[in-house]
Structure 1
Amino acid sequence: MASSELVDITTACSRRGYLTTVGVVVDVLPPYRTKGSSACVTFTLKDCHFDEATWYGGLKVKYFNDRMDALPPVQRNDVILLRNVRINMFNDKPTGVASQHDTVPWAVLRSDSDPSSTHEIYTGPTSFSLEPLEKRAALMLLDGVVTTRPATVTQPTRKEVPRQQSQVFQASMTTSPPTRGLPLQLIQDVQPGPFIQILGQVVRMNTHDSEKCLLHLTDYTSNESLTDIRKDGEDELGTEGDTYDYLSRKRKNWPGPWGKMTIQVVLWEPHATFARTHVKEGQLVLLTYARIKPGNYSGLEAIVHQDKRYPNKVHIQLISNEDDRAKELMERRKEYWKVHGKPSDDPKKTARKKKIEQKKKEEKMEEGQKPLSLPAPGKINKSIKVRSYGISSRSIDYILSGASHINTIPGGISYQLPFQNVCYRPQVRVVDFFPPKLEDFAVQVPMESILAGDNGHDPSGTPRMQWEWRFCLLVEGTEPLVSNQVRAQMKLFVTGGEAEHLLNLDAVE
């Protein structure tokens, strides 16, 4: 059962189970869709320790819901009240979790730029009113945020060492790596051991984890101890960083480079927050305090932990392409893509473009456009057997050129029948079909009952329905052609029992 008592953030972090709490949003990640059916937004709440780093003394909250619009629309400096939120431990840290199966009402209070205006209150997933104690606590926090915003929540700094904090972020945005410090190593030389520096280009980022940030770095040198990333379409056999050839997998929509040229980097706080805010894919970065270790699955990975001596120091820097060592990296990159073609486009944009093109193609097909482009001739399917073996095989040209049946009725009126009741056995290849979607091959028709008096209706008088195959094939012959000869094509309408015999499958929905 959820506790109706309103508790502060410090108390919430020390408890387990369901409770109600309120706090100031000091950090928030963009909402995203999980691999399941739900959406998620992650944020950190505080009601004290605002002069510390955002990850210190706060409660991390993960809010899930199947509807994106049901997530709390939190921003930094908002105050949010959460009812019935479950507190448990995640990575040895207290975390609030609102699953898509729980009912966790939220109320977001946001200050207005006009001091004379009233504070805005948003509630969800369904509208509700705040209790007097809840509203009073939320407004006190919101007033505190407005009063202390320039010095605390918007720009968190340590009062004891304000000079050090400003120096850290200035150093993190430098345009060239330092000349002193740990040894700078190429990816081809890294091995498990002491701390080092690594300069590389960001190939891929994963910022959805609230505790850490994942980067994939390359400097276009190869290391046999790294994971072997294969290009789409290549043979999947072979090692992928493991000595015994057990692992073989591809990274979906990987933009390159391929092979053993990319190392995974795990950034913990405070480096993760800096990367989420300032680093983008394609940029050059310098890791100034990285340790190499064997990865959890295969190959090597780099870890950048919090500096125990200087907890607020950020050990990742953005590097300009004009730096001397960056020029060497960019030259290796240029040589690599000379061999492997131009760099791949953004995989997300490429996938989106393909999806749009496929949708347009389907819309054209639905409008009646039927492109009958012929595929490359293939072998005859020996698994398909005819029912009437005694009938001689005929070509499509012979069938189409057959004499039409002329019927004469009394009065001397003659006319051509629109069909021929003739049984042919051709050997053909299917080159197109209609309708364009295979799921539309079956239709629902009234059931024909053989029971006297039933008339295909159930006792309520509603016609009983059944599924029946009904589709059309465009076929051509398979006989050898002489030069400049074009194969004749013919449409076949297939339905009912004949379709079941062809497909060896009963029609269903």
Structure 2
Amino acid sequence: MAPSNQLAPDALPPGFATVQQIVEGDHKTGVFINSMGVIIDVQEPRATKGSDWKSTIRIYDKSVEDNDESSLTINIFLPQKDMPKPARGDFVVLLRLKIQKRGFGDISLLTHRESGIYLFTGGKIPRPPADASPAFTLSTSRVKRALSKAELAHIPFSYHGLDKTRIPTEFEFETRLIQSRNFKEKFSELKDLKDGTFYDLLVYIVRTYDSGDKLSLWVSDFTENQGFYHHEYKGPNTALVQEGDPYGSCSKLTKELPATSSWEGPFGKRSMQVTCYDNHAEAIRNGSGAGKGHWVMLKNVQVKYGQNGANLEGYLRGDRQYGESKVNMVLLDSHEDPETMDSRLYRALERKRAYERSLKAQKKQIDDAAAAGQKRKSDALTGAKPLSGAKLSRREKRARQKNAQNAQNAQNAQNAQNVQQPETSVSAQKMNPQVKCENHTKPTSPLTDVLTKAFADLDIEGEEVKLPMPFTNLNYRVNVRVTNFSPPDILQFAVPKKTSEYDVLEDDGDSDSSSGMEDEDAATDFSSWEWRFALELEDSTPDIKQRERVWVVVDNQSAQCLVNLDATDLRRDAETLDLLRQRMFLLWGNLEEKKLEQRQEAKKVNQFRKGDPPPPDSSDNEGDGKNKDKEDFDSKVSNLPFNCCIRQYGIKVRESDPTKADAGNNKRWERVYGLFGTKIVED
């Protein structure tokens, strides 16, 4: 009988999960978990897009020792110099690894920035009750702790109580290792596909079509292949192609679907039809999550010319080696960490973004040309004389030249050097002690200086010219008080986060997101929230006659600093809402209370004015818009001035007037201000 202070071989230390519990889905994907086991397979490290390399190991433990097909795969991302080099039968302890499941693939574990890997030489692990310390060889831990005495003491029980017949021989282990090192890459981009070959493909699903006995996918990786069918864009509502199979190689499929349907892209020879049979089609039908708009890895796809002999097609059939249970499709996550993302997916995302930008510009040219044709036709009917092609070209050339000059001006503004802020004499003044900001030793600036437009000194052909800049990249410390906020309801200060599949890509300086504009195609994630509100600040610098006001944006990061809270759904999270309201009260005093009273009074007055519209929810001047009303409202608000940091910067906004599009490409620069480095502190 084992001593009472010793664990049985199959009883893991607290906080650990067995291999069986993990692979059978007892724990949710995405959570972090601890485990341990004996190594039975290792794949050589390979370079990834980022600084980390990737290696894969497989382990088993007592819970699955009788099931030769059950093991746990560990995907390790580390710098090459830190990669563990385990031998067959070595023991590994894993701390804080992430559970993941891709598409139809098995559950596996993935290292994270806070993961720990502890390696022990199998042949040196002593028998219990001694602990495993003498066998310890390597730690690649990013966890801020060493293994506990209980964990070290359990390893001998786990190792020596295990049936080791599943550990491969030295020859088998080395053979697999060499095979992983010399693996013949079947992967190919669509542009390189050739007739009569099997490939692994990383593709984006454009469309799916189910004909009952098989299922067809239209896929693309946004490269072009001359063997593909050509989808042509001819203008709005004219891009019509045959649904499912435009060249008629699958007669059953086309009979059950409309003859024509709008093709949304990608256009050109960028898409290939892949017909899925057997378990592959069934897996897609049965809620795999793979469908239109998803990235997938398709393995062992046969590529050959279809029945018409003119276009390449793909065929995904059952795998004879593994039987019908094997599904050669893996669902990929285009939102994962770029450091661990498959470099091939990263490059495909870059191509997709570049294609969509190019298509947007081309569509505009075609649509504008079509609109111009309609205009000329209308002019002919009314007797108006249309502009000649030469005049149109000259006009467009002048607009391009002006836009180019404006773009250069904006670039000069971005490169302008920060000017020294003037020191303002500050009289004795009672400041809000519960608001702190960065750079408190720097002098404050009055808002008049902040709002004054700057000029760049340019030398044009030997002549000095002062050019007004649309904005400057400057930081300020100001003395202000809050006079308004937006949205008017504090419940709306947190919003669902909008995400885009391009978030993982490095900014190339020409994206809407980089310029402060929202991505039109971004998806709303209701499981993730972010702060988004604005404050109107009034200059509280002593001894000044004109008290300027300015609206400042409080983005998610600045708000986290300001209130020391993470954004949530405030309509469902009463605790966070109460904390937010308490902390904002320390900043703006009774402002929220007075705004609420004002809205209630306006609502009562409006009840007696039949036919009048209700008062607006939010405006710079709430009430009837008269200065007296605003002055009366301001006199009722009681709050203390405070020091804060604000920054001036520019964002690109759409501009239909070419003469005002100083940011180029139908966009202009707009000057905005944002709060940063300011924090509310509680007693």
TM score, norm. by length of structure 1: 0.39
Identify, as 1 or 2, the structure richer in helix: 2
TM score, norm. by length of structure 2: 0.31
Larger radius of gyration: 1
